[in-house]
Chains A and B, each alone.
Chain A
Amino acid sequence: MKKGIHRIKSKAGRKKEQGEGVAEKLARLFEIPAEICGNRPKVTAIGRGEVLIENFKGIMDFQDGMIRINTNNGVIKVSGSDLSIREITNEEIIIGGKISNIDYDA
């Protein structure tokens, strides 16, 4: 019994890393917007000058031409020129500047 419980838990943990947890499945089942439950990042790009990333963990690298942000789904890299962090709070970060790429796992 103990083993079984342990297995389920570990499986769930692995699934979460892959990108789909129980909460997300439930959310999809009941057609609740995905960003409400779970802590997957939400990336919103407005035009070319602004990227808003919600549910992030922290910034890993901050250069003039590249910003790397750590999230639950891996690292998101925003690159471009004259980048700046417009605003940073606990939940969201707004990146401004001329953006050329948004890369995942970079």
Chain B
Amino acid sequence: MFLVYLWNYIRGYVIITVTGRNIERFINICSRRNILLWEIIRINQDSAQMKASIRGFKHMRPAARKSRCKVRISKRCGLPFKFSRFRRRKGFKLGVIIFSVLILLSMSIIWDIEITGSDPELNSKIMTVLHENSIGRGSLKMNIDAKKIASEISLGVDEIAWVGVEVKGVKLYITFKDRVSTPTVIDSDQLYNIVANRDGLITRLEVYAGNALVKEGDTVKKGQVLVSGTMQSQNPDNGTREVHALGKIIARTWYQCSLPVSSVYTQRFKTGNTHKVSYLRFLDCKIKLPSNPLTFSLYDTEVEDKIITGPFGIKLPIGLTVEISSEIMEKQVDLTDEEAVDVAVEMAREDLRKIIPRESTIIDEVVKEIEGENGTIYVQVVIECEEDIAKLEPVNDE
């Protein structure tokens, strides 16, 4: 019953009052002409109230004339009458259209990309592959071919053994399994020597295979053979055996850098003038908001993402990205001797930091001032490290 009522409500109906002598005749004609009437109530001797559909009401005129009844609408019910109120409001219609278009659009784009896998380091690689194929947050769902992306990713990222791409709702799910890298095969039949990677003083020797030619406390030069793969038998008659030398040679190494001390130093400082460029960010798209052109010759740019957090800690995909460029001025500053030395030492350290391999541990640091020719003072920074200097080198048997 409720469904019937709902259907009638959606279609729209009118409650009419029929007055006349011959209401029965009116009802008969209506029913014969397939005009549906329902809930007919007799009010008094010459009037009755009933409901009729809108279409039925429009076809009622001949029936009313034949039966000499007067038909009056007492109430209009249903959605069509509710909507007819909006028929003339253009803005409302436009709003409804815009709203539905927005809803459709928002349903047809990717809002989020979720990458699950065993190695989170590969996520960025996958993201670059996606970026190359111009797939990101905000790209249209219908442009996404899951199979193509999967093959593209497995081609682009070597470490991936299997990848699954799935679009669920407005989310793009990427699942991958990384490949276990093949271990490097050490061919024990091959003759290998261990040579020094760089100059140093040996502090510790760990030889797993081979014949150690040096001992702790020895100074070695770069390229010197430390562990030989040729094993000499104790009995010279038995000859030699060739092995693949293996081991760790921990040695102290020194790195040095000398720089002239200059009493003039170009100092950079911010003038305090800033230039702001704002971008409206929607998913991965950025729209630049109008701003003045950048006039600074030297500047430092900081990028700040302003994230709008919605209820329950949901990060909304809409936000502002602000790029603040602050102007920088260079100025020549005269330094005192001490300050000049400090600056030179700092610069030397900076240089050394680039040379020293990451695995080595820094043990000691020595700073020396040397007077060179023409009265220029040099600063020498020596850093003492401890590192593994072993390097495998194949021996070509001629």
Contact = CB atoms under 8 A, between A and B. Distances in A.
A79 B40 CA distance: 16
B31 A62 contact: no
A41 B50 CA distance: 25
A83 to B, nearest CB: 8
Contacts of B41: 84
Interface of A is mostly: strand
B222 interface: no
Interface stretch (A12-20, A21-29, A32-40, A53-61): A53-61
B38 A87 contact: yes
B34 A61 contact: no
A62 B36 contact: no
Contacts of B179: none
A87 B37 contact: yes
B24 A88 contact: no
A88 B42 contact: no
B283 interface: no
A62 B48 contact: yes
Chain A contact-residue range equals 10 to 19
B348 interface: no
Nearest to A97: B41
B31 A86 contact: no
A84 B50 CA distance: 10
A59 B25 CA distance: 8
B246 interface: no
B37 A62 contact: no
Contacts of B50: 85
Given A84-B39, A84-B40, A88-B40, A62 B24 contact: yes
A84 B31 CA distance: 15
Contacts of A93: 31
Given A62-B48, A64-B42, A88 B23 contact: no
A85 B28 contact: no
Contacts of A84: 39-42
Interface in A89-106: 89-90, 93
Contacts of B38: 85-88
Contact of A89 (B23, B34, B40): B34
B381 interface: no
Nearest to B29: A58
Contacts of B42: 62-64, 83-84
B37 A60 contact: no
B39 A62 contact: no
A85 B42 CA distance: 9
Contacts of B24: 58-62
Interface of B: 23-24, 27-28, 30-32, 34, 36-42, 48, 50
Given A62-B24, A85-B38, 14 more contacts: A58-B28, A58-B32, A62-B48, A63-B42, A84-B40, A84-B42, A88-B30, A88-B31, A88-B36, A88-B40, A89-B31, A89-B34, A90-B31, A93-B31
14 contacts: A58-B24, A58-B31, A62-B27, A62-B42, A62-B48, A63-B42, A85-B37, A85-B38, A85-B50, A88-B36, A88-B38, A89-B31, A89-B34, A90-B31
